[in-house]
Structure 1
Amino acid sequence: MIASVVSLPAGNWALRLLPLLAALLAGWMSTPASGQTMPGFYRAFGNTGTTRSRHVASTSEKFDLPASYVSASQFADDASLYAVSVSPDGMILVAVGDWGVIVRSEDAGKTWRNFASGVDAALCDVRFLNETRVVAVGGGYEPVTGLSRGVALASDDAGRTWHRVDSLETTKLHRMAIRNGFDAEPLPAGSIEAVGDDAEASRGNRFHSFDGGLTWLEDSAQSTESRTKLRDWLRQDVLVQASESARQTKGEGWRVRVGTHGLIERSTDDGQTWNPVRGAGRGAAIVFVVASEQSVPWALIGREALEMNRRVVVVMDSAEPADSDTVRKLGRLRHAAMRLGVGKTEWCSSQTSQRQPSADLLLEHQPAVVVLDSTLPASTRDAWVSATLDDSNFPLTASSIRKQPRRVYTSELQSDSAGNSSRSVALRSEALLSGRAVLAGDLALDAMMVVTPAMALPDSVVVSPVPGTSTELRRDLSL
């Protein structure tokens, strides 16, 4: 086991062996936090046979978009949160989300404060290992290559301060589970395992830590059956990023859940009713609905989110059901959208669903404006228009923006906008966004480097009112 992990010079092997033995001993002695629950992937696929893991390199590497006009601190209070964990004593909670945002509560979720993470990638899951050690994982995607890269952080003071740990060779990590040591695998009690994107070379998607989250090892002996089952589970859990086991936690007499735009809610009646304690009344100003990654109006999205400071949600409404590549494809889309200030990116399939995802998503986000991709199938477009104009999907709230007349537009990427009608407006790629001192096309190009690097930059994004609706064309700076 030791020889497979590290190679030691013959001259001082005993001295060099001590740190490794100490790390292994710490893994054996650590105990799982009380009250923690196992995600579905652990319960279903925990036993995959003897594990042979290889060491992960410790060299740090930056993979985020090198855009100086984007600041993580700008989104610290508004970033969507994807996971929350509670300490064994039930008093301290830590939640994580987009832009490396970490928020912490010391009073069982009644009040929250932001804490610096040192990274600006998305953090997808967090776990308390004991009273003081907390681990968070996530990652992102490299421009051009689209390679999935993992990020892992650890805290030794219950989430007050954080440091990045050895996770360079992992893919983006989506979910964690704490090992209880009760199944057939020879893993120490208290060890951690995580499921991530498929690795490029080995296609493995399962990773382990034996030292409380400080280093992560790929399960190089993972069976083909296990990889396939984990991949299927990811399509169900990560496509919507709504796993209840990750987004919700509980203590004595209360529950806490986290969500879009930094919303945190608390319940004292076992989830029957929820009261916001952070981010109350936040909804999306604009929902962009796209048919595929090739038709995303990135320049327009970036202008509305970064220049106009609107809360934006992107929905990819696919005509096809999810396949084995959907998680990675959506991951790249989410990464690029996050870098442009988008609050959340979701996936649905109106063509294959028996429900009405358009109505469900409008009820959740309550936008004032809906922008529909011109390449959407006619039936999908009609469903979104009908749902947007249906007052029952927009209950009255205290937010004034949601009481404004709802508008529905179509967006189209064009290489030449000279022939546009009088009822349309074009945002050209060379348009200067003065607030950011950047061209609209630069925003689009940065996003396309991650999502569609081989695609040519369109000359413009053309916006038009949807025919047959009362939507008026507004020739101002914002939708």
Structure 2
Amino acid sequence: MLKKILMSAALSTLCATHGFAQSTGEAGAPQPVLAVQAAHAWANPTQTMLLDATHAGPSRLVAVGDHGVVILSDDEGRSWRQARQVAASSTLSAVYFADAQHGWAVGQEGVILASTDCGETWSLQRSVLTVDQPLFSVYFKDAQHGWAVGLWSLLLATDDGGHTWKPQTLPIPPGGKKADRNLFKIFAGRDGTLYIAAEQGFVLRSRDGGTTWEYRSTGNKGSLWAGTAAADGSIFVGGLLGHLYRSADGGDTWGAVDSGSSGSITGLAASGNQVLGVGLDGFMLKGADDGSKFAAHQRADRAALTAVLVPDGTSAPLLFSKDGLLKTE
């Protein structure tokens, strides 16, 4: 599993271990520890571990990573700067913006951060120290309704912009005794159907706005770390050892796609009629959204790639890794 193996095991020395009260609103709760600023730790925040990136409206890009670092770009990724204030120093695993102003980031210690000013400042909505249950992914369908997923079938939902987060109970997976599958990536299809890429080759699906969920099997037994919805409506998920799957019927059935990669897929993104992917050992993937003609290129540096993002107005993807922002080879 990506965030637990890659980030907590292979990169454990890089992960923050600072703590917070469960809510900044609790009486007597300590003040949250702010993210370390680049001037105090790094000459360039783009050279620290970055785990996810997203669009915030039509012109801003936002990336998150080690020690609560949040970086912003307003020129399609040519230059970056840190957010002015981030109320956490835990490693952030994922970030998502519902619109240009409203964004959320999640990570270690169950941290959920929120921004209402295009990512300039971030407030703490949730943090739990009593259980080691990190969050791996977050998705909002609008500025009020969102979900966050993580370790041991942790699924949280909000209908008030994250002011309150409520756990949801998932059904027992096929062949299991309890709902204990790790949930790695939540995203939506073009029709609003929700999907969660999970362990043991399962994809969870909700067709009723997250009220009920069902397991759909890809036929593989490995963990699925990434997912995206292509322009033609098809759904892609990928994970361990370069395994990639596509569904053209809303997740009812899945077909294996030859990704050309032996490195585990950590990120997928749709761009036009193409699907792009990145993975461990420096693998970069590109293929048509109909699942045909996928090809993989392995970087000479074999960098541990974590996310890929295509800025609006350009065809050149941005690559993120455990070593920060990388140039496309």
| Shorter-chain TM-score range | 0.3 to 0.5
Greater helix share, 1 or 2? 1
Structure with the larger RCO, 1 or 2 (CA within 8 Å, 6+ apart): 1
Q: Which has the larger radius of gyration?
A: 1
TM-score normalised by L of structure 2: 0.48
Structure with a larger share of its residues in strand: 2
| TM-score normalised by length of structure 1 | 0.34
